Structure 1
Amino acid sequence: MQDRRWVLNPVGRHGLPWLTRTGCKQVLVMMDQIVSGTRLLDLLPLLEADHRVQVVFTVPEPPESWHASHEFVEAQGGVVIPWSQARHLRFDLAVAAGQFGLDEIDAPVMLVPHGYGFGQYRLRPRPAGDDRAAMMNLDREQLMRDGRVRADIVVLVHESEREILAQTCPEALHHVVVGGNIAFDRLMASAGARERYRRALKVPAHRNLVVVSSTWTSQSAFGRHPDLFERIMDQLPSEDYQVVGLLHPNIWSHHGRRQVRAWLDDCLRAGLGLVPPEEGWHAALIAADFVIGDYGSVTGYAAGLGTPVLLAAEPDDAPLKGSPAAALCDNAPRWQREQALLPQLKKLAANHTPDTHAEVRRRLTSRPGHAAAILRRTMYRLMDLPEPARPACVCPVPPPRLVS
């Protein structure tokens, strides 16, 4: 459990005697989960190098939370303020990728999506009947408190999401910025480092890299198929193929690192490369020759990159038409578990073209290549600070590492 003591920090009057750099704008990064925290780390290079800015971190604490979230934030090397203390301080900007605590912070708040974006919605039953309503994690119950929108800025990745928001919470429309998809822009900006990433994953030049990806919940590929990795590795000749696994951070957080590694111990001994939840999925996708995954956003990003994809699991409820997940499920061939895998991969490669998943790519962002400029401009406007003169650009992702 997180230490409840208040800590010395550069925000507020109690830290003034200790300051070396004074007059900075104070930015609070609200990391409630690993998965949302990784998206916020995509944003931070847009402002944290500015000598006029001081960034600090906190973990919003709902009634129930994962210990892994605190470990992740502590590992970033920044000043971490307990949630109980952060709620009593004033900041010039707060950025979050989850809804908890938005209205408890004294700051202009920018809410950004993770995963596919807020467009990874599905249909759900209305409480009063059988009619189906759109769900985008941005309905009125989540966005509104006491008659006001909880975030000053709500970032959408795609223009089409505005239409859904008009149905679910029209009050939030005047808070919207269509900012594009910074995760996808980072992927595209990193594509030239493919060989470097393959070396980091220890993939020899003569081997095909098969990345196996699973989101979380019992409907995911790993949830539906406990033998997912064993079955794939058993069918691929190790002299020609190498397998790397990507598991959603919520799997690691909820079941624990020890348990995940124990479940995969035989595969790890047989040569499975496993990427940790904090960093590495971007680079693994760029390095991949094939991706076998489910309806989760990592598989969709692979498709958007132009990588051949086999779909290993679908959700019980069909994704809403027009979402990236729906485009993926409409177009990706299915992995036939009871059939030999090698012929499926060869057929997949023969039939694949750069435009096979063009619709998925189109749905991932309506501002391709512009997320850095839009998001930096928005954050500096909220801070009431002129932007730096240098152009805003995304940083290529670092080389991946493997769980040892």
Structure 2
Amino acid sequence: MSLLMPDADRRPAVPLRLDVERWATFRIRRRVLAVVHTVTSAQRLLEAVRLLEGDPRIQTVFTMANDVFNDGVERFLENIRALVVPWSQAVHTRFDLALAASHGGLHELSVPVVVLPHGASYNKRISAPGGPRGRGTAAREVYGLGRQWLVRDGMVVPAAIALAHEQDRIRLGRLCPEALPVAEVVGDPCHDRVAASLPHRAQYRRALGARPGQELVLVCSTWGPDSLLGRQWDLLARLAAELPREEFRIVVMLHSHVWNAHSEWHIRSAFAGLARAGVALVSQHAEWAGAVVAADHIVGDHGSVALYGTMTGARILTAGSPDTDLDPGSPMAELRALAPRIHRGRSLRRQLRGTSAAYRAADYARIASRLSSEPGRFASLMRALIYRALRLRAPSAPTPPEHAAPPVTVRYGAP
């Protein structure tokens, strides 16, 4: 697999300035551009960028690509103290490699790009804005695997496509066969993080305020009007009213797009009454894997979090919109077909108990096995891919996957 673009396909590039050449202390041999579209993709992208830690030969520069969900990206990059260049400069600057976890604008770069998935597998069918030659809307395709995301002017844009599972390679072959030569299965970093976190379940439960004997109900909502929050906001109040506090601890976790689109102030305001009713809210700045490991029950929609719950033994209930936008062959479609849906007219406590009674570990293990065909190996395989693309020898072996930090909940002041 070649990770170098032919010279004819490169647009003229200029050296990166910022006084790096004149004042640099480290002898920089390679420069990597991390392309950030959204906070969600930035979090996934950091899993790859951090594989370069401990190597002063490589300078990582971040840029923000245009995206409708750019809200929060600038603050995210400021918080990680990244070296950032504007997109207008990045597209005309010479780098040795780019990394991205989304697809918008990548064809504008004059550098080989490695693309990672931005969530668990490839589940949603959506249309890119503007069909062929800008006429209307393109047909719906699986995001990240269809031609409209990977091909531009007859050429495959990514120099490498990092996949989590061999099944993803098979699906890519059906949807965009010309991209198969640049596909490489490297596993899933979030799968490995959840797996490494399983022995620390008791610690995560304490961090979320679950007392011994309490069952922890984790409610997970993605973004948008078809999400759990968008369709069934009243479900949170029902859970708080119907589940006895001495038996259940209710915790809510929201997609980063919800926080960034509405502001932390708005969300704190919206959840103030629920907080007084005993419902906890996971901070947008916290790691999410620990909350998934801590849960006895997960009530989720079509977001990725519920999929990782298939690894933990949690009993899963589904909510949100009908599944018309899901790829029928995706892991999420399989989970949504297996897990019971929340019914408005029935006792929530009985529904939780019914899910526990009907739980079959083998069914959920089958879905969990679709998240990564290289369990525990993302760090080593992705690192090898990056260094091969950079034509550098990696300085040392990567560390094993680390467990997640304990989750942090939003504080509302003194009770």
Structure 2 length-normalised TM: 0.86
User: Which deviations, in whole Å up to 9, do the C-alpha atoms of 1:319-364 show, x marking residues without a partner?
Assistant: 3333111110121122222211222222322332432412211221
Q: Does 1:381 align with 2:384?
A: no
**Which of residues 50, 60, 63 in structure 2 aligns to 1:58?**
63
**Which of residues 118, 121, 124 in structure 2 aligns to 1:121?**
124
Shift in alpha-carbon separation, 1:298–1:13, aligned structure 2, 3 A: closer
CA distance in 1, matches of 2:235, 2:84: 38
* Residue number in structure 2 paired with 1:26: 31
CA distance in 2, matches of 1:133, 1:359: 27
What is the identity, as a one-letter code, of the residue corresponding to 1:272? V
Q: Any conservation in 2 of the 1:38–1:278 contact (CA below 8 Å)?
A: no
**Which of residues 310, 318, 339 in structure 1 aligns to 2:346?**
339
**Structure 1 residue runs without a partner (length 5+):** 1-9
With 346-355 and 304-313 compared, the bigger mean Cα shift is at: 346-355
* Residue number in structure 1 paired with 2:148: 141
Question: How far off is 1:137 after superposition?
Answer: 3.2
User: What is the DSSP-based 3-state SS (H/G/I as helix, E as strand, rest coil) of the residue aligned with 2:311?
Assistant: helix
With 32-41 and 312-321 compared, the bigger mean Cα shift is at: 312-321
Alignment of 1:44-193 (within 5 A): 44-62=49-67, 64-117=68-121, 119-122=122-125, 134-193=141-200
CA distance in 2, matches of 1:50, 1:228: 49
Shift in alpha-carbon separation, 1:249–1:315, aligned structure 2, 3 A: farther
Question: How far off is 1:167 after superposition?
Answer: 3.3
* Residue number in structure 1 paired with 2:12: none
Question: How far off is 1:120 after superposition?
Answer: 0.9
* Residue number in structure 2 paired with 1:279: 286
What is the identity, as a one-letter code, of the residue corresponding to 1:275? V
Question: How far off is 1:14 after superposition?
Answer: 2.9
Identity of aligned residues (%): 37
Q: Any conservation in 2 of the 1:110–1:152 contact (CA below 8 Å)?
A: yes
What is the identity, as a one-letter code, of the residue corresponding to 2:146? D
* Residue number in structure 2 paired with 1:3: none
CA distance in 1, matches of 2:353, 2:179: 48
Structure 1 length-normalised TM: 0.89
CA distance in 2, matches of 1:376, 1:218: 38
Shift in alpha-carbon separation, 1:329–1:26, aligned structure 2, 3 A: same
**Which of residues 305, 315, 331 in structure 2 aligns to 1:308?**
315
User: Which deviations, in whole Å up to 9, do the C-alpha atoms of 1:200-234 show, x marking residues without a partner?
Assistant: 22322232211001112222111111212111111
What is the identity, as a one-letter code, of the residue corresponding to 1:97? A
With 376-385 and 274-283 compared, the bigger mean Cα shift is at: 274-283
Question: How far off is 1:293 after superposition?
Answer: 1.0
**Structure 2 residue runs without a partner (length 5+):** 1-14
CA distance in 2, matches of 1:278, 1:33: 15
What is the identity, as a one-letter code, of the residue corresponding to 2:234? D
What is the identity, as a one-letter code, of the residue corresponding to 2:111? A
Q: Does 1:267 align with 2:270?
A: no
CA distance in 2, matches of 1:245, 1:294: 13
Q: Any conservation in 1 of the 2:96–2:112 contact (CA below 8 Å)?
A: yes
Q: How much is the aligned-residue C-alpha RMSD, in angstroms?
A: 2.5
**Which of residues 242, 245, 248 in structure 1 aligns to 2:252?**
245
